Amino acid sequence: MPRVLIRVFGVALFLSGLLWTLQGLGLVMWPANSFMLGEKEWAAYGVIAAAAGVLMVWVTRRRNDRP
């Protein structure tokens, strides 16, 4: 059960990071009153969060392959 929770959190973190990256780069201007829009530092935070999410999913998938 914990693996499933880690995977769900990893996917959510990846999607959030993707949104932060796109907002920081100014490609997604939603919501209009967000403080992240066009801020390059949030693009960097988003890349880090997305990478962490992918890593979480990858680690839990690798554990399933082991006996």
Cβ(45)–Cβ(20) under 8 Å? yes
Cβ(37)–Cβ(22) under 8 Å? no
Position with higher pLDDT, 62 vs 5: 5
pLDDT tens for each residue of 18-64: 999 999 999 999 998 989 999 999 999 999 999 999 999 999 886 55
Q: What is the pLDDT of residue 5?
A: 94
pTM, two decimals, is 0.85
